[in-house]
Structure 1
Amino acid sequence: MGVPVITLAQSRAVSRQTHAFLSTIGLAELSAKDTADYLRIATELANDKARLALYRSSLRQTMLASPLMNVKAFVQQLEACFKNLNAQLFESQSVMPTPAIAAINAATKTILHVGPGHRQNGAKLPTAFQNNDWQEIRLDIDPANQPDIIGSMLDMAAVKSQSMDAVYSAHNIEHVYAHEVPVVLAEFLRVLKPTGYLVITCPDLQTVCALVAEDKLTDAAYTAQAGIITPLDILYGHGAALAAGHHFMAHKCGFTLKTLTTALQTAGFKTIAGKRRELGLDLWLVAVKDAMAEPELRALAGNLLPQ
Structure 2
Amino acid sequence: MFECNKIARGVHALVKSARKHADVPLQKIYAMQEIFLQRNSGLYTKEERNRLRYYLKAVAYKFHLANLSLEQLWALSEDKRQELFFALENSLDRLDVSDDELLAISFAFEGFLFQATSFLDFYMLYICLLLKSGHQGSISKKRFFKALAKVSDPFLAGKAQRVSTYFANHVFAETTGEWLVPHNWGTLLRSLRDKIAHRDRIRPSFESDETLVGEVLLNWPTLQSITYDRFCQYMQNGMFALFTDVAPLLYDLEWRSGPYRRGMWDEEA
TM-score grouping bracket, smaller chain normalisation: under 0.3
Structure holding more helix per residue: 2
TM-score scaled to structure 2, two decimals? 0.24
TM-score by length of 1: 0.22
* Higher percent of residues as strand: 1
Instruction: Work out which of the two has the higher radius of gyration on C-alpha atoms and give 1 or 2.
Output: 1
